[in-house]
């Protein structure tokens, strides 16, 4: 059951909404390229829309202390806003190659994490707003190393061997970190047989001619 009246004011699709940490405000991001802040109790808009994007908004989030709003856009940038004044802080964060579809603050407010349709996740320092240096943390590319090569090996980011996939199991392989259970499964459970499991240097036994 809906509570109160609809919050109306955007002129395009509303792609993302979030509460402020104290629950007093609602933040919304829209296809009309603006962010709006609403009084959660009365449903009235607070201040003017936050503007500055060249393309539509896809995601919004509030900092844990409620002082800042972060947002991601189809123009591939991330912006940080002063939640009280609505002013943009610093320059847009750039690094993604496509639409920024999700964004969040870390619980301590020290980092921002963003996900994009370019299949990458970026982590940023909150203060100042800068990318975490690659030497400390590389962008995480979902599925980047999930597919086996011509010989059936799944490799890490440095081309090291992770594991070998039998030919009949290679189709539809996802991430090395994921085990996928088809939605059509009746039991929704899985069991693992470790009878022929090999690790360390003994993995060479499963693929003749390999070198450790």
- Asked if residue 71 has pLDDT above 80, the reply is yes
The domain in which residue 45 lies consists of: 14-141
pLDDT in tens, 101-159: 999 999 888 889 999 998 899 998 876 655 555 444 444 444 444 566 777 777 766 67
Same domain, 126 and 189: no
Number of domains in the chain: 2
Mean pLDDT of 206-212: 52
Same domain, 137 and 152: no
Question: Quick check: is 6 in a domain?
Answer: no
Same domain, 44 and 60: yes
User: What pLDDT does 1 receive?
Assistant: 74
Q: How far apart are CA 50 and CA 27, in angstroms?
A: 11
Q: Which of 9-23, 180-194, 197-211 has the lowest mean pLDDT?
A: 180-194
Q: How far apart are CA 202 and CA 212, in angstroms?
A: 8
Q: Is the pTM of this model over 0.75?
A: no
Residue with tokens 């999930």: 146
Domain end, chosen from 141, 176, 204, is at 141
- Percent of the chain that is helix, strand, coil (3-state, to 5): 5, 35, 60
């Amino acid at each position: 059951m809906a509570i109160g009246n609809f919050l109306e004011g955007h002129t395009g699709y509303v792609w993302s909404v979030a509460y402020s940490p104290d629950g007093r405000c609602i933040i919304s991001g829209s296809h009309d390229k603006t962010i709006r802040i609403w009084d959660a109790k009365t449903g009235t808009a607070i201040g003017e829309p936050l503007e500055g994007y060249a393309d539509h908004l896809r995601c919004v989030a509030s900092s844990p202390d409620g002082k800042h709003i972060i947002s991601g856009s189809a123009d591939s940038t991330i912006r940080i806003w002063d939640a009280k004044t609505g002013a943009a802080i610093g320059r847009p964060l750039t690094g993604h190659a496509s639409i920024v579809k999700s964004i969040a603050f870390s619980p301590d407010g020290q980092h921002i994490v963003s996900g994009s349709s370019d299949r990458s996740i970026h982590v940023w320092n909150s203060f100042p707003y800068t990318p975490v240096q690659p030497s400390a943390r590389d962008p995480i590319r979902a599925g980047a190393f999930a597919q086996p090569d011509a010989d059936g090996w799944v490799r890490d980011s440095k081309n090291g061997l992770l594991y070998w996939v039998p030919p009949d199991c290679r189709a539809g392989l996802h991430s090395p970190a994921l085990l996928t259970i088809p939605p059509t499964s009746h039991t929704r459970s899985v069991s693992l047989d470790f009878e022929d499991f090999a690790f360390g240097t003994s993995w060479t036994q499963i693929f003749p001619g390999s070198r450790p």
